[in-house]
Structure 1
Amino acid sequence: MLKCVTEFISFFVVLFAAVFFSALFNRLHLPWVVALLLGGMVIGPFGFNVLQSSPTLELLGEIGLVFLMFMAGLETRIESVRHRLKEVGILGVANSVIPFGVGAMIGTVMGLNPLGAILLGIIFVSTSVAIVVPSFEANGIFSTRLGNTTIAATIIEDIVSLLALSVLLQAVSPTSNIPLIIFYPLLLLVLVGLRFAIPWLRMLFSYTGRRADLFQQELRLVFAMLIGIVIIFELLGLHTIIAGFFAGILLSDSVRSRLLKEKLRAISYGLFIPIFFVLIGTKTNLQVFFEVKGAVLLAVAIIGGSIASKLVSGWLAARVIGFTNTESWLVGVATTPSLTTTLAVAFTGFEMGLLSQSVVTVLVLLSVVTTFVGPLAINYLAKKVKAEETDKKRPAIA
């Protein structure tokens, strides 16, 4: 009985921290993810140490990671890439290869083991569509050529980083004994099979009554399929982070109604995902900058290297495909925010022993910095782009 009460208290502390810090940061007009991370830092063992970790809490955090990647996959529209395949390809390749090389080089120079350096390179590739899309929508450039190309490229970059992560994890710590030469053809076969099986399952079990679906049969069906798909992928040997993302992509065609999407977002972002971010915050130790020699240099190298590599590669690729100088800087800036995928991959690397706590702490700071600065820089450059377009349309005075 006492153990049960302790579990509930830990659960309450996490939820209260998520609610309190989100409300506080909302009043300050600051990103909610940053609020959750800082909330975790405050209540965690490196803060006031008021949270007692437990297997139940860790399980809820793992479920939060699944839902985070599921929602990312659900909102990924592969068809958006097809319309501008060449432009998106150039931007996606440049914005993946250059940051990966810079990240791996920084990891090697800073003393990470080879696999840790490769993982850091993969993290440098990842971006945050969740930051870019609202910023583009707010500035009225979401549906423009620039907006479509940039967003499609960021989607490609996230997919590339996750696929690269799956290869690395399978090579480093496979959860199955399936040889790699068989693993990937088998994975492709399972993906194709699920792609055809999911619509059939939806038709078989979906609610068909005339009255309102008071007991949320459709929502429950999506959850059952999500967990089932994750289990199948885990049995194959895929990590949770990849399994959740693939599940989102596979179920994206089954989740078309706006109401169902809102329900999924409410449960995901209202409960499970905040728990995941708060728990990441509890594992973030800012004291490493005072205790570990070279931690400050590591922070400068990783944060500076990530921002510079994405900014320059984005600008360069955008110039190649015909954008103006200001538009190209906007593209570069839009690819710098690192949030959900970055934190998810960093957390996975830490759990598997590929990244130290110092590196993970720096990556959390990278997410905080780019989440703050990214939208502000996008707003500034978007206004400059619009002003330049207005000047072009204005008739010349003879």
Structure 2
Amino acid sequence: MNTLLLFTVVMFVLLLFPRLLNRLGIPNVTAEIAAGILVGPYGFGLIEPNSALKAIAQLGLVFLMFLAGMEMDPQVFRGNRNRTVLLTCCNGGIPFLGGLLVGRFFGLGWLEAVLLGSIFTSSSVGIIIPVFREIRGSGERVQRMGDLVISAVVIMDILSLLVLSVVVRIQAGGAGGIWLFILSAVLFLAAVLYLVPKIGHRFFRLDHGTLVHFETEVRFILFVLLLVTFLAEVLHVHAIVGAFLAGVALSETFDVHACKDCEEKLTTLGYSFFIPIFFLVMGMETNLGVLFQARENLFITITVVLGLICTKAGSGALAGTLLGMPFRESLGMGFATIPQLSATLAAAAVGRELGLLNEAFFVAIVVLSIVTTMISPVVTRRLLAPRRPT
């Protein structure tokens, strides 16, 4: 298919399917993945992803992690340190062990099982923030809980991506020099989080205190994103980790210099073109037929979905109980952490690319993302902001 015609068809699909499925209450991300499954080679075979489409999808993955990082607010850590550590240990550690056990139960090697455990650890801030924003009128306790959950999820996502980096490094070059790699990864993280905001402050506010032009701002942001991503690749930390760190580092710069218009334009660019193509291509590469090729494959998917929901919701409820919250609020906090999106799908894509995740587990993780992003907002609202009788 001609490249221009291919992208025309892709944009038509992305324009049509989400609008149709939104009317059924299905979120955009789920609709885009479903569209890819339907039109791709494992569906009706209308579109075969070529190298150009896959390259755009890779940029979409980088944009997805960058924008996920930009949603982080470093300020939320300052008043919640002890509570955040407790929630992170419970809601990150228990699901990690759960994913590890699920992987080992189904015959994965230790490295592959650790990758699955890191996927169980992460959550989607992009889903969590809008939910708590919507129910903030339910009281100050819910607002404080929102800050606590978001701060813990940020840490869990960073730890999950660091574990992914270690797994990628071991897969690529063996365990030799792993401690040197971990040290270099931590130093890289610290350098990005320290240097990028300082450079950003100097750039956005010139010597005479005048803001630079919008076009230059965007070019600077894209330059920083690509540079940090490239350096991450050079250090074998993986591009998605670099993109996420670049977003976290620049988020504070945006807040200080009130660059909300610039942030909104980047978000629009990412979520209107690059990121939907990533989800669409991921759908095209998802063969749901694998679920029915063997009874074990369907069992893997059910176990992964239920295992994640139980360990995330249960560990969140445990943390809430230890913090003295009522059980209903504790359970609501647990369900708020179950959505799997950005880091999960990124890790699944990397794991599949490196041969760490077979087709059955890849499909299971895609299904996991669809299910959790649909049920988490509904259950969280019901538990934390129940409707009062009129």
Q: Same fold (TM over 0.5)?
A: yes
**Aligned twin of 2:178:** 180
Greater mean deviation of Cα atoms: 92-101 or 288-297: 288-297
Pair 1:248–1:178, CA change in 2 (3 A) = farther
**2:354, 2:7 → 1: CA distance?**
25
Q: Say whether 1:67 aligns with 2:66.
A: no
Q: Say whether 1:154 aligns with 2:156.
A: no
- What is the CA deviation profile of residues 35-68 of structure 1, one whole-angstrom value per residue up to 9, with x for unaligned ones? 0000100111100111122211111111111111
- What is the CA deviation profile of residues 151-203 of structure 1, one whole-angstrom value per residue up to 9, with x for unaligned ones? 2222222122111111111122159x993343344344444544336644664
**Aligned twin of 1:242:** 241
Q: Kindly provide the amino acid, as one letter, of the partner of residue 178 in structure 2.
A: L
- Give the drift of 1:25: 2.0
- Give the drift of 1:356: 1.0
**Aligned twin of 2:359:** 357
Do the aligned partners of 2:229 and 2:240 also contact (CA within 8 Å) in 1? Answer: no
Aligned residue pairs, count = 381
In our comparison, the structure showing a higher alpha carbon Rg is 1
Structural mapping, 1:299-314, within 5 Å:
299-314=301-316
- Give the drift of 1:205: 8.3
**Aligned twin of 2:82:** 86
Q: Say whether 1:315 aligns with 2:314.
A: no
**2:6, 2:143 → 1: CA distance?**
47
Q: Say whether 1:367 aligns with 2:365.
A: no
**Aligned twin of 1:261:** 263
**1:146, 1:65 → 2: CA distance?**
30
**1:210, 1:251 → 2: CA distance?**
19
Pair 1:318–1:70, CA change in 2 (3 A) = same
Q: 2:11 aligns with which of 15, 27, 30?
A: 15
Q: 2:94 aligns with which of 76, 94, 98?
A: 98
Q: 1:329 aligns with which of 311, 328, 331?
A: 331
Do the aligned partners of 1:206 and 1:221 also contact (CA within 8 Å) in 2? Answer: no
Q: Say whether 1:58 aligns with 2:59.
A: no
**1:47, 1:30 → 2: CA distance?**
19
**Aligned twin of 2:343:** 341
Q: 2:114 aligns with which of 111, 118, 121?
A: 118
**1:50, 1:132 → 2: CA distance?**
35
Q: Which runs of 5+ in 1 are unaligned?
A: 388-398
- Give the drift of 1:285: 1.0
- What is the CA deviation profile of residues 211-237 of structure 1, one whole-angstrom value per residue up to 9, with x for unaligned ones? 9937x1111111111111111121121
**2:210, 2:87 → 1: CA distance?**
49
TM-score, normalized by length of structure 1? 0.89
Do the aligned partners of 1:205 and 1:221 also contact (CA within 8 Å) in 2? Answer: no
**2:90, 2:31 → 1: CA distance?**
32
**2:27, 2:228 → 1: CA distance?**
31
- Give the drift of 1:19: 1.4
Q: Which runs of 5+ in 2 are unaligned?
A: none
Pair 1:334–1:197, CA change in 2 (3 A) = closer
Q: Kindly provide the amino acid, as one letter, of the partner of residue 303 in structure 1.
A: V
**Aligned twin of 2:251:** 252
Q: Say whether 1:33 aligns with 2:29.
A: yes
Give aligned-pair identity as a percent.
Answer: 34
Do the aligned partners of 2:200 and 2:250 also contact (CA within 8 Å) in 1? Answer: no
TM-score, normalized by length of structure 2? 0.90
